[in-house]
Structure 1
């Protein structure tokens, strides 16, 4: 009998609680569902061990296995007709007895001997040694390779996973070892031998992660003085011991906050679930190890569940029953149902708990103010904040300077300084500083601003490391649609435009145009709106910048328009908060893992409500615990208390629902899922207001007027007129009662929702980023943790079900860069379901985003993927984004075309837009361009500042 015969009883299946369900107590104390199929496998392997390969084809053996399996199962059904628990040893006792009663003495004897030998080895803690290989320990001494432990580690890593072969990994590991190998290299070799199989079988990513865990356990437990080595089963004992030792050591090293030691640590430790270590993918665990775990002199002494508990405890410090809340938060984080943003994961529970994700500032038009703003950038970036700067107030090139009686050099030289500051302050080496500069489209320096990321021209007027974004008023877009003129001004001559939007902006702007036409305004420039629009799109395609974001819709739908103006978005274009010289807007982010709240039948609404309620509480706690590097940020955050609850794993959810991204059903799911999250998030914030009080500027807000995000959409419709907007306003939930609750109870948070890129935290959870379509079905992902093979497990499982997954298919996927479209033997329905990002027409992304946007009080970080890009296609796509009521867009991922395209997106759903879109000249098609630099949602190692 093989090791796997006994291991067959000990799976990691998800536990259910159906009536009459039998459950099995494993040796490590965990419970799993009773599965008679595993008994059949174990008995079959016992026969194979005695009778050899002939048993596999023996009808007698098959029949006997079925009878014996039924006999064992019926025994427990008779004993416990209403369900109950049974220990693994009892099951194995019954297998022995059934074999003896059936007259299979040889099989039973082999089974007994094997059980005794395994028990003896477990009790003695000894295993067999390799006859020739030795391992060099850290102190330089050698000892024989513990082959038994190696085999046990690999077998444990493969346990409960289909399609993996433990013996193959063991054999390959031994082939790659040499006599005297360093102990530290032994784990690395096992990991490397497992990871090479990921492209053939996605489950090997879990095998690889579990083998990596052995290295993590050894490093952390040794540092804490608990053990040199431990299996995952041993962690049932060691995790409760490790928590107080880890916290004490972290406080001693001045890495953790002393208040963590004030918790009831026994109660906290008892809540840790060690087996959740087994749910990591290799990429997720390696990312945590490299960049998140607390370390001293490069020794990581934080383990995965200690990490999640540290974050949970850090977020529960001010709670009345902080132990209960910490455990509640831990359950949400460690299950991957919800994940806090990267700054929160970095810093919760530390001496400098800078937990917030995004900071938005307005730069004033004076030298002191400009350099104060740059200093604020440095201080905020130091503690892992992503920055969005509104530079519109700074006067343009050639504007008069009264103090010196000279002329301004414009905004660009100061942007260069801001760019270099972001490079210099790199967040403690964890990741580069990241900032985005915003400029309104009427600013006289806008044309030079568009060229900041070009690789040609005067390098002193280039910002190669800083992101840029256009802050576009509706009036400009209307002029583009109507082929009108556009006038550029210096903000020093038209200072009030900065704080105006909607019809008020349009009226004042037209007044300034009249003054300019009459010669009463010297510094201005008149151009064709479509010419500027064409240049915006050209630079976006060529350099990836500036992004296109829309000023008026952000302000018209802002709940806080009674106390200020939204002057920009943030680094990743999902935050829309007020800024001024006295207030630096702050947003605190986290994301629901949507795939964990979906079944084949649709949304698990009850679970989603529980998750959202806890998540909003965690986000609200961030505001009070957060370390504020500058006073303006604290002032703003405490006044308005904004948070940004988002989602990730949208693509995974569509796979589970068997719904292609390019479909009406996907658009409807985007609508419905966001409506439910919006409803529960607003309700949760209102309940917190009842418990803790409303935010200070609630009175006068849209919330106080009973205007929820879905209602604020009408403000945009009224302001633009129906000619310039087409949006869906349908709803399915009881919003009337929620409006009444909000008006009565108030809101704890001025803003509640925003969908961020989730680049790194999606890696941790092993799901698709944010709302992104699948990038490729098979590719190598590169980030600061190294290179990782990524294969779409949903595709692999679908192909397996149809008997199509084999080595040839793997090679085909490699040949076609992860695309299934040109592989003939793949059925059409699977080609539709597993279309990759550049194979999804951008209109589907825009439509889904439009449906989400109606429910969100902030915005979405929306990348657009356009294959065979031409000027015409970009023009239609971005006009459609504005026309469908989006607040912002993010990166353009474009694959260039070499000739003009003579047709645009041919679909009836776009006809309403095409009727308004007077497409720019067909000869404006783009030539093949270099790949656009990757950003957050494709896990660019230079970014990831939001999540």
Structure 2
């Protein structure tokens, strides 16, 4: 039993005394447990801990009873020492450590507040006169006001008090305070305090977003009023000044004055700022909002309206009405333009296009012209794809000098270094992908370009590479036949041939090697070369696997040239030549937002796609073209690439698992609808604005839609493409419209990665399955804890979201499949990318591909890679008629140390600790485990995004 507490006198700091109160010890111990277990303030401790705490309090009380002097009492520091020792004796070493940290933090708070009374070490917050000062933006000092910070945090937590604590956030902020802290540093401390708690409860994401908006409003509006009506009025009043400031600073075009600015300002919807999640706000703040001398002059809605005005600037008729129409689609997140458009719309240099593709001729002048073009295009935020197949191979004869060529590799080193030297407008790193056909004699050295070993003068560590593979090679692999490598100057027509024409000519060249007509060649096993391609892909992530024949045989523009490569992200498939640098203008539909009451809302989707196609078509005429070849190609063919994002979220909104036939059927149906509305919209634009210049003779003109070309490809390949051809919509309407009006755009669809724009609007990336449900994302804006909000909502609905669930998610690396508490149906819906069998990703992509006139940026995930699995996966992708693939992502042999998780609590070995062995017909030369995760290897903005 504890002696009567009134007999003990506790000596406080500063000499004040008070009666001993055992409840304060219990509170301090509880706080230490909560901090260590990462519990929210309103979450209870588990029963075992709650039952043990009274025992610990009694143990402490009985120990200090003998030490307490009836005259002098006992010092508070001595009580805390006893608490530490008691925790360690009971085996709670980590809790004891947390308690020590807690004491140190409390000491810092006392110093900050210069207080002599902290209410017996309780958590009560009291405002006192501080000894610290804040440096204002004009350089003046003002006393630090704790009450003001608490008021701002309370305002950010309004309506979320059940999940968020302003007082707890203040405690975190106080730990970062120092004398002379700037206002900006103080604001960042508040946001950081909210960010670090997002993993406890996603409601803190809303808090961080509100705090971020305050910073933006202070910058752009000069004030951040809490009153909604006052803010709305300020939004309207400041808009003309925003435009004037931007024009005066030469950041905006003076042509914006042509709009009815009063009508534009009244159309702004400030409440839509709250549609952003925190990471989206941080992304646009860091890289998208216009600034003058570091001060942002745009709010989020000014940003969307500025983009909309830039896209409508050459519209005929009601230009203001069109801008408002575009704004209502963009600001509600139904559709988002690609990053170059968001960067540069309505500026003096409106380079709005995403991707540039070029073919390099076997001519020294043209080689270095293309390198210079790369620099110009990269400067204005363009992602680059270069076809290098025409460059003669190593040791081939140079007639002009009577010497021997060094091949293509040295030139690719120059391309690599140019991409590093010239970044994308100072906003993200330059990036280029070089393509080479599989029959080129330098292909084996090309495969080694990304290796970390060997002659560094023949390595390109910063450049992407991709194989451009004919169907004939894939059939030779299946047949275990030989493959012949040539120098392009000896077989110049192979570059422009595809399908059966390529196969016939290739066979003729092979016969010429037998007769001695061709001297420079090399024969190798197709299987051996395929093995090396997959091995390098596994080891280095490059070269990517892309296919020449489906890209050409299904191209609408087969009458006007040849597709020689894809782009930086492998979704754009356009003709290129010496005189034409292909250009593509991208944007993506937010598929998640078009799921209403568990179904795809076709009416909303049609409206979104029609407006999106108009915006994309406008880009072509507004665009600033860094090279004449780019202008020539884009204005002649007018290609656009409408894609999608949020596919995984759309599945979850319908209760569908990615690993299911339901997902494949939804991929098919949703892409058919997008294709239907996009093609129809382009045809309607042709009626209004005229057909694109090279329309005559195209597949459109010949009555062939993307769905029709699958049979053409199958016939040329000679191998069945096992994808059904079913349709759900009345395509005769589209066919009739094209027959009557033609098409405004040569190409209309391509699915880009959308890494950054999906982050901005807070949906899952492109067509990707969820990477993990809890992870840290790194990009140029910093590191951010990402929690799957949909999963948290479902767990909360079942009463399962608590500290134990959070700890389990950490232990299992963001996977739910091994957490026993989670129901099986939820586990099936929330499989992560490495838990979805690759066949499902490929089947979904194949059923989309039949509707798409270009391609898809398709990442493939393999949790336990082996040679056989890699072979089977890429062979299935080819057999299903896919045109391209993108990154191969595999898991590392080890994962991050679980330093904040009690691993002994789980008692089983998670899958990430199990070793995978490589086996099968094709053995992988595994020198080191490879982990390619979102945020690596793209050389852009840390988001694995190129064209976006």
Name the TM-score, length of structure 1 as normaliser: 0.82
Whether 1:337 aligns to 2:338 is no
TM-aligned CA distance change 1:550 to 1:942, over 3 Å: same
Q: Distance in 2 between matches of 1:409 and 1:859?
A: 34
Whether 1:652 aligns to 2:649 is yes
Whether 1:165 aligns to 2:161 is no
The 5-angstrom pairing of residues 233-272 of structure 1 reads 233-272=229-268
Note the alpha carbon deviations across 1:213-270, whole angstroms, 9 max, x for none: 1111112223xxxx48666553201111221111111111111111012211101000
Q: Give secondary structure in 2 for the equivalent of 1:608.
A: helix
TM-aligned CA distance change 1:445 to 1:850, over 3 Å: same
- 2:219 aligns with 219
- 1:664 aligns with 661
- 1:194 aligns with 194
**Residue 168 of structure 1: how far off its partner (Å):** 3.6
Could you tell me which of 782, 786, 790 is aligned with 1:786? 782
Whether 1:471 aligns to 2:480 is no
Note the alpha carbon deviations across 1:375-432, whole angstroms, 9 max, x for none: 1101000000000000001100011111000111000000000000000001232001
Aligned residues of 2:871 and 2:922 also touching (Cα < 8 A) = no
Q: Distance in 2 between matches of 1:436 and 1:268?
A: 41
Q: Distance in 1 between matches of 2:389 and 2:399?
A: 19
TM-aligned CA distance change 1:942 to 1:670, over 3 Å: closer
Q: Distance in 2 between matches of 1:730 and 1:150?
A: 61
Aligned residues of 2:539 and 2:927 also touching (Cα < 8 A) = no
Aligned residues of 1:478 and 1:724 also touching (Cα < 8 A) = no
Q: Give secondary structure in 1 for the equivalent of 2:891.
A: strand
Aligned residues of 2:918 and 2:924 also touching (Cα < 8 A) = no
Note the alpha carbon deviations across 1:896-919, whole angstroms, 9 max, x for none: 6866556xxxxxxxxxxxxxxxxx
Whether 1:946 aligns to 2:942 is no
Q: Distance in 2 between matches of 1:795 and 1:367?
A: 56
Q: Distance in 1 between matches of 2:164 and 2:438?
A: 59
Q: Distance in 2 between matches of 1:175 and 1:933?
A: 35
TM-aligned CA distance change 1:230 to 1:830, over 3 Å: closer
Whether 1:203 aligns to 2:203 is yes
Note the alpha carbon deviations across 1:779-833, whole angstroms, 9 max, x for none: 1100000000100011111111111110011111111111112212112111111
Whether 1:703 aligns to 2:705 is no
- 2:603 aligns with 606
Aligned residues of 2:428 and 2:941 also touching (Cα < 8 A) = no
- 1:412 aligns with 409
Q: Give secondary structure in 2 for the equivalent of 1:779.
A: strand
- 1:453 aligns with 450
Aligned residues of 1:641 and 1:749 also touching (Cα < 8 A) = yes
Q: Distance in 1 between matches of 2:413 and 2:375?
A: 14
Q: Give secondary structure in 1 for the equivalent of 2:211.
A: helix
Note the alpha carbon deviations across 1:314-370, whole angstroms, 9 max, x for none: 000011211001111111111111100000000000000000000000000010010
**Residue 184 of structure 1: how far off its partner (Å):** 2.4
The 5-angstrom pairing of residues 52-91 of structure 1 reads none
Aligned residues of 1:396 and 1:411 also touching (Cα < 8 A) = yes
Aligned residues of 1:376 and 1:630 also touching (Cα < 8 A) = yes
Q: Give secondary structure in 1 for the equivalent of 2:845.
A: helix
Aligned residues of 1:294 and 1:302 also touching (Cα < 8 A) = yes
Q: Distance in 2 between matches of 1:664 and 1:130?
A: 61
Q: Distance in 2 between matches of 1:573 and 1:736?
A: 31
TM-aligned CA distance change 1:590 to 1:923, over 3 Å: closer
Could you tell me which of 635, 640, 653 is aligned with 1:638? 635
**Residue 601 of structure 1: how far off its partner (Å):** 2.2
Aligned residues of 2:157 and 2:207 also touching (Cα < 8 A) = yes
- 1:433 aligns with 430
Aligned residues of 2:637 and 2:694 also touching (Cα < 8 A) = yes
Q: Give secondary structure in 2 for the equivalent of 1:516.
A: helix
Q: Give secondary structure in 2 for the equivalent of 1:429.
A: coil
Whether 1:285 aligns to 2:284 is no
Number of aligned positions between the proteins? 798
The 5-angstrom pairing of residues 416-815 of structure 1 reads 416-721=413-718, 723-815=719-811
Q: Distance in 1 between matches of 2:140 and 2:932?
A: 52
Q: Give secondary structure in 2 for the equivalent of 1:387.
A: strand
Q: Distance in 2 between matches of 1:265 and 1:149?
A: 37
Q: Distance in 2 between matches of 1:153 and 1:501?
A: 65
**Residue 150 of structure 1: how far off its partner (Å):** 4.2
Q: Give secondary structure in 1 for the equivalent of 2:725.
A: coil
Could you tell me which of 337, 362, 366 is aligned with 2:359? 362
Note the alpha carbon deviations across 1:280-338, whole angstroms, 9 max, x for none: 11110001011111112222221111111110000000112110011111111111111
TM-aligned CA distance change 1:417 to 1:943, over 3 Å: farther
RMSD value over aligned CA atoms?
2.0
**Residue 173 of structure 1: how far off its partner (Å):** 5.3
Q: Distance in 2 between matches of 1:205 and 1:896?
A: 30
- 1:838 aligns with 834
Q: Give secondary structure in 2 for the equivalent of 1:734.
A: coil
Q: Give secondary structure in 2 for the equivalent of 1:659.
A: coil
Q: Distance in 2 between matches of 1:663 and 1:369?
A: 50
Aligned residues of 1:754 and 1:857 also touching (Cα < 8 A) = yes
TM-aligned CA distance change 1:760 to 1:492, over 3 Å: same
Q: Give secondary structure in 2 for the equivalent of 1:592.
A: strand
Q: Give secondary structure in 2 for the equivalent of 1:216.
A: helix
Aligned residues of 2:777 and 2:935 also touching (Cα < 8 A) = no
Whether 1:376 aligns to 2:373 is yes
- 2:320 aligns with 323
> Can you give the 5+ residue segments of structure 2 that lack an aligned partner in the other structure?
1-124, 894-914
Aligned residues of 1:870 and 1:925 also touching (Cα < 8 A) = no
Q: Distance in 2 between matches of 1:612 and 1:168?
A: 46
- 2:909 aligns with none
Aligned residues of 1:337 and 1:593 also touching (Cα < 8 A) = yes
**Residue 202 of structure 1: how far off its partner (Å):** 1.4
Name the TM-score, length of structure 2 as normaliser: 0.82
TM-aligned CA distance change 1:488 to 1:806, over 3 Å: same
- 1:880 aligns with 876
Aligned residues of 1:936 and 1:945 also touching (Cα < 8 A) = no
Whether 1:394 aligns to 2:391 is yes
**Residue 175 of structure 1: how far off its partner (Å):** 3.6
Q: Distance in 2 between matches of 1:146 and 1:411?
A: 65
Whether 1:869 aligns to 2:865 is yes
Q: Distance in 2 between matches of 1:752 and 1:153?
A: 48
Q: Give secondary structure in 1 for the equivalent of 2:289.
A: coil
> Can you give the 5+ residue segments of structure 1 that lack an aligned partner in the other structure?
1-127, 903-919
Q: Distance in 1 between matches of 2:631 and 2:918?
A: 51
Aligned residues of 1:895 and 1:928 also touching (Cα < 8 A) = no
Q: Distance in 2 between matches of 1:200 and 1:228?
A: 28
Q: Give secondary structure in 1 for the equivalent of 2:524.
A: strand
**Residue 193 of structure 1: how far off its partner (Å):** 1.8
**Residue 881 of structure 1: how far off its partner (Å):** 0.3
Note the alpha carbon deviations across 1:481-526, whole angstroms, 9 max, x for none: 1111100000000000000000000000000000012221000001
TM-aligned CA distance change 1:385 to 1:484, over 3 Å: same
Aligned residues of 1:779 and 1:817 also touching (Cα < 8 A) = yes
Aligned residues of 1:870 and 1:926 also touching (Cα < 8 A) = no
